[in-house]
């Protein structure tokens, strides 16, 4: 008797209102109320999970594919940037010497003091310790603490003189001082500003009495004493090929690192947009479906049964409900 009443009640509710299609009923009973915070959190963690939770399979696939693409590009560009950075640092350690550059500063100071119409540079020369000759600049990881202190002391001496010197051709003061060995700016400046070109081992110089110099046996300065001397086109006549090659390698490595850094913006955007989409569509789903529990009284009023009511929208102006009785 109660089973018959339940069936009749269900049929009556369906007939009394606009009857949904079979597909709608299937979607109705296979769905359930969805958690908006959960959908949001799932896609914040991994884009596409919230869409899968909402059964938006195409969106889930697009979000996951986008995440995978961005991660692959990030890893590729970052690795190329790191490899390039390690390579140009090795070049700097092997081919650029602060000792060589310090010798040039001392000769250049003398050159400025003998330059017709030049300003007097009244400062002691860079003090170059004899202990520096035993330091292998190509392998700084092997330095003892005394080696590190000796190099740091040399760079302090270089900085002192750089703050006094000026460019012979223009009269402008040196715009930069050499950063300490191993700092990021150290590797940038030695391949960016021509004043550091004499520190490269292929820059034209002489060897006299066992040391590098830009003064010949007659006491005259050789042309490469002036790294800023103009050459053909926009180049510098005395700047060597290694300076330009290092500058290109440094720029290429940094370009890859910048790309990797910028693409993280897309990574964050993918997480945020996927999370918002998942939350919005979970809320839309919940607005389309309303689940209500209650009691249904039979015809003679003597029996009660649990009532599960689904309310869903078939179109924006009407709503339909189906009552299912649980005995």
Dump pLDDT digits (tens) for 140-156.
999 999 999 999 999 99
Asked if residue 55 lies in contact with residue 61, where contact means CB atoms within 8 angstroms, the answer is: no
Print burial letters for 238-275: b (CB count within 10 Å at least 16), e (below 16): bbbebbebbbebbebbbebbebbeebeeebeebbeebb
Asked if residue 209 lies in contact with residue 201, where contact means CB atoms within 8 angstroms, the answer is: no
What pLDDT is stored for residue 287 in this prediction? Answer: 81
Asked if residue 284 lies in contact with residue 295, where contact means CB atoms within 8 angstroms, the answer is: no
Q: What is the token pair recorded at 316?
A: 């924006």
- Which pTM value belongs to this model? 0.70
What pLDDT is stored for residue 301 in this prediction? Answer: 52
What pLDDT is stored for residue 32 in this prediction? Answer: 73
Q: What is the token pair recorded at 207?
A: 């060897």
What pLDDT is stored for residue 282 in this prediction? Answer: 87
Q: What is the token pair recorded at 282?
A: 């979970």
Asked if residue 42 lies in contact with residue 53, where contact means CB atoms within 8 angstroms, the answer is: yes
Reference 294, options 303, 306, 312, 310; nearest CA is 306
Instruction: Identify the three-state secondary structure at position 22.
Output: helix
Q: What is the token pair recorded at 281?
A: 């569509």
What pLDDT is stored for residue 290 in this prediction? Answer: 52
Print burial letters for 76-114: b (CB count within 10 Å at least 16), e (below 16): ebbebbeebbeebbebbbebbbbbbbbbbbbbbbbbbee
Average pLDDT value over all residues in the chain: 82
Low-confidence ranges of the chain (pLDDT < 70): 1-31, 233, 289-327
What pLDDT is stored for residue 260 in this prediction? Answer: 94
Contacts of 252 (CB under 8 A, 6+ apart): 84
């Amino acid at each position: 008797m109660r089973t018959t009443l339940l069936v009749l009640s269900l049929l009556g509710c369906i007939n009394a209102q606009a009857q949904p299609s079979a597909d709608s009923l299937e979607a109705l009973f296979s769905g359930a109320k969805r958690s908006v915070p959960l959908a949001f959190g799932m896609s914040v963690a991994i884009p596409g999970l919230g869409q899968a939770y909402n059964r938006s399979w195409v969106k889930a696939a697009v979000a996951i594919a986008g995440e995978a693409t961005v991660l692959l590009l990030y890893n590729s560009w970052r690795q190329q940037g790191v490899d390039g950075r390690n390579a140009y640092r090795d070049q700097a350690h092997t081919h650029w010497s602060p000792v060589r550059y310090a010798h040039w500063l001392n000769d250049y100071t003398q050159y400025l003091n003998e330059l017709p119409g030049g300003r007097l540079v009244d400062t002691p020369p860079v003090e170059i310790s004899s202990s520096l000759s035993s330091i292998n600049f190509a392998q700084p990881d092997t330095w003892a603490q005394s080696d590190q202190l000796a190099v740091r002391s040399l760079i302090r001496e270089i900085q002192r003189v750089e703050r006094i010197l000026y460019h012979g051709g223009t009269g402008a003061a040196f715009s930069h001082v050499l950063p300490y060995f191993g700092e990021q700016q150290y590797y940038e400046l030695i391949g960016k500003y021509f004043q550091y070109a004499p520190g490269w081992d292929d820059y034209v110089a002489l060897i006299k009495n066992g040391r590098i110099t830009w003064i010949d046996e007659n006491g005259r300065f050789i042309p490469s004493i002036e790294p800023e001397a103009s050459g053909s086109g926009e180049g510098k006549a005395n700047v060597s090929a290694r300076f330009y090659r290092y500058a290109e390698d440094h720029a290429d490595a940094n370009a890859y690192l910048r790309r990797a850094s910028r693409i993280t913006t897309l990574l964050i955007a993918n997480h945020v947009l996927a999370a918002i989409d998942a939350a919005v569509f979970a809320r839309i789903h919940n607005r389309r479906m309303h689940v209500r529990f209650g009691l249904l009284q039979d015809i003679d009023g003597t029996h009660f049964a649990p009532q599960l009511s689904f309310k869903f929208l078939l179109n924006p102006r009407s709503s339909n409900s189906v009552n299912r009785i649980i005995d």
